[in-house]
Amino acid sequence: MVQQVRKSITALAFFVISAAVSGQPAQAPLTLKPEAPDRYVVVPGDTLWGISERYTDSPWRWPELWNMNKEQIQNPHLIYPGYVILLDRAKGTLTLARPGTEPGTRPGAAPGTGAGAKLSPRVRAEPLPPEEIPSIPASVIEPFLTRPLVIEPDGLDRAPTIVATQHDSVLLSAGNTAYVRGIAGSGEESWYVYRRGSPLVDPDTNQTLAYEAIYLGTARVTRPGDPATVVLTSAVQEVGAGDKLVAASVVTPINYAPHSPATFLKGRVMSIYGGLGKVGEAGPLSVITINRGRADGLEVGHVLALYALGGTVRDTSKPRGAPDAFIKLPEERSGLSFVFRVFDRVSYALVMHATRPVSPLDVVQTP
């Protein structure tokens, strides 16, 4: 599945439409990092976001370095391990060279066989086609793509339900049999087993936007009908009557094209995940849930800046008990996040960069 996710991501999909192309307000000139390399060879394990951070602190604006236009974005080229990124500091632009095509290299020659290079006998081999470089680490977000993990308030109400268990067992584990109503006619054979978890409450309105879905395991239909017979093929927690099933369909490939929202958008962090476990603070490559979704104009690929929520402190220059003795500290920018899955009113985002731990109630907004 990770491989499927990787293959769905092209290099130019990462190079987002710049301000001039997308109609967004003009931004400050993009600057190169002083330590940006003049030459960089792409290696397995690289991500397009990681490569861009070598050159600029605004990785979603990398197309500006490539002088890319709308036509080029519509006709993407892929970047693979072994390709060479070259920086022209005089022009402030980047170019891409395939292996053996850099200036000073004989056409068709292998890397390191340019003018003056010492030649030696080589064994000719046909390498396997390389995988293109993904935008962000696919293995980190894969569980959040293949499993819902967030459900709308009524999302499981009509889902197939375990109504009885083998030998009337209270709890089931891998290899046990269960009986499910609601599967008849679906045609699906593989299912995920869920239980509704804690509510995700909007910190601004105190409204329940969705529920966390507790993943329990997988099941396979062995006899269709109503009720149908299923066997648990895996279980990370014990399963019982009343638990729900969701079809384990294949993930539709998603084009991850990082870009800033066209209008100002502001929201809050509701919860944080480290791996698949819920944690109190987030760092780079942690997944956060935010209180904005499709209904608010949020899209897959949106880049949102993270801000630490400013606390309230006592103004030491004022006497205790004074009406204005406490002041609200400003929100401080703390990093960047990348939205990779959007529901109606909530979304998942991956923390790409953080200068301090990200906490629930922190702010996300258009960078």
What's domain 141-247's architecture?
Beta Barrel (2.40)
Q: What is the mean pLDDT of the chain?
A: 75
In 93-165, at which residue ranges do the beta strands (DSSP E only) sit? 93-97, 150-151, 161-165
Residue the block writes with tokens 């050159």: 55
Kindly state the percentage of the chain with pLDDT values over 90.
18
pLDDT of residue 293: 93
Compare 93 and 177 and report the one with higher pLDDT.
Answer: 177
Helix (H), strand (E) at residue 48: helix 48-53
Displacement of CA 362 from its chain's centroid (Å): 18
User: What single-letter amino acid sits at 336?
Assistant: L
Q: What is the pTM of this model?
A: 0.65
pLDDT of 3 reads: 36
Identify the helix (H) or strand (E) that includes residue 26. none
CA distances from 17 to 67, 136, 301 (A): 11, 17, 11
pLDDT by residue (tens digit) across 201-226? Answer: 899 899 988 888 888 989 999 999 88
User: Cis ω on the peptide bond leading into residue 357 (within 30° of 0)?
Assistant: no
**Which tokens hold the place of 64?**
């500006």
For residue 105, how many other CB atoms are within 10 A of its CB? 19
- Our CA angle for 138, 141, 143, nearest 5°, is 115
pLDDT at residue 246 greater than cutoff 90:
no
Token representation of residue 2:
């990770």
* 79-130 pLDDT tens trace: 778 888 888 888 777 787 877 777 655 544 444 444 433 433 343 434 444 5
CB distance 6 to 137 below 8 Å = no
Please, which contacts does 277-283 make with residues 24 or more away whose CB atoms are closer than 8 Å? Answer: 280/359, 280/360, 281/357, 281/358, 281/359, 282/351, 282/354, 282/357, 282/358, 282/359, 283/351, 283/354, 283/357, 283/358
pLDDT at 265 over 80: yes
Same fold flag, 141-247 and 266-365: yes
| C-beta separation of 49 from 352 below 8 A | yes
Greater pLDDT, 69 or 266: 266
CA distances in angstroms from 69 to 23, 75, 78, 80, 300, listed in the order given: 13, 10, 16, 22, 21
Distance, CA of 168 to CA of 194 (rounded, Å): 20
Cβ atoms of 155 and 210 closer than 8 Å:
yes
pLDDT in tens, 293-337: 999 999 888 899 999 987 777 777 777 777 777 777 788 899 999
Give the DSSP letter of residue 330: P
d(CA 249, CA 227): 21
Burial class of residue 289 (count of CB atoms within 10 Å of its CB; 0-12, 13-18, 19+): buried
Q: What is the largest CA-CA distance in the chain?
A: 85
Write the DSSP assignment of 167-222 as a string of letters.
Answer: GG-SSB-TT-EEEEES-TT----EEEEEEEEEEEE-TTT--EEEEEEEEEEEEEEE
Per residue in 33-87, pLDDT (tens digit) is 889 999 999 888 787 778 888 888 887 776 677 665 444 444 444 677 888 888 8
* CB-CB neighbours of 183 under 10 Å: 25
Cα–Cα distance between 245 and 213 in angstroms, integer? 11
Q: What does the domain layout of the chain look like in residue ranges?
A: 1-106, 141-247, 266-365
Sorted by sequence, the CB contacts under 8 Å of residue 318 that are 6+ apart come out as: 324, 325
Cβ atoms 18, 61 nearer than 8 A? yes
Assigned architecture for domain 266-365: Beta Barrel (2.40)
Measure the CA angle with vertex 99, ends 96 and 105; round to 5°.
95
Q: Locate tokens 């290696």: which residue?
A: 43
Query: Would you tell me how many other CB atoms lie within 10 Å of the CB of residue 102?
Result: 16
